[in-house]
Amino acid sequence: MFQQVRIELTLVLALGLAVAALVLALRGGSSTTLVTSGAAGAVEPVAVLDVAPKGAKEVSIINFAYDPDPVRVQAGQAVSWTNEDVAMHTVTAEDGSWGSKGLGQGETMVMTFREPGVYTYICALHPPLARAVVPSKGGGVAVVAAGGGRPMQGTVIVE
């Protein structure tokens, strides 16, 4: 009997938390989302916020581009990306080791880079075009592009 009551209470609590999270998301409230951690200790969890924290290097996502690019920061300094486009965008490591959820207009994503290095990122929704070199008639070659939309790519240089 107690086991069944315990299971029912757990289900009610889980349902209540899910509803609260949905209401918060629909209201546009702040949330923190750990997408993936990358190399051990190299980056901190991704936070999606309403505003950039003080001292963060700010990057705008506007007209399907990251501005400025590249971004130079010191190890331990935060970088914030704010989507100013109507279209949804992401900030995702080129190798897929870390990244954000889809950012709607006005949403800000913040990451802190702990280790020096060069971090290349893309918009997973608008990745760089794939290209192939194929032989053409007459002995020449042709470059063929595949993919769609406008490619988005940026770089963070951590010193």
Asked if the model's pLDDT at residue 63 lies above 50, the reply is: yes
- pLDDT in the model for residue 127: 79
Of 4-18, 46-60, 83-97, 101-115, the least confident: 4-18
| Residue 108 to residue 100: CA distance in whole angstroms | 10
Tokens 């290209």 sit on residue: 131
- pLDDT in the model for residue 129: 64
Residue 64 is given by DSSP the state T
Transcribe 81-142 into DSSP letters: EEE-SSS-B--EETTSSSB--PBPTT-EEEEEB-S-EEEEEE-TTSPPPEEEEEE-TTS-EE
Model confidence at 79, in pLDDT bands (50, 70, 90)?
very high
C-alpha dihedral sign at 71, 101, 122, 151: negative
Higher local confidence (pLDDT), 142 or 129: 129
Higher local confidence (pLDDT), 11 or 61: 61
- Percent of the chain residues past pLDDT 70, beyond the cut: 53
Structural domains of the chain ordered from first start:
29-158 (2.60.40.420)
| Residue 90 to residue 107: CA distance in whole angstroms | 11
**How many other CB atoms are there within 10 angstroms of residue 147's CB atom?**
11
| Average pLDDT, rounded, for the chain | 72
User: To 5 degrees, how large is the angle CA 103–CA 119–CA 131?
Assistant: 80
- pTM score, whole prediction: 0.62
- pLDDT in the model for residue 31: 35
Asked if the model's pLDDT at residue 124 lies above 60, the reply is: yes
Of 10-19, 51-60, 65-74, 85-94, the least confident: 10-19
Residue type, 142: A
Query: What's the whole-number mean pLDDT along residues 35-44?
Result: 46
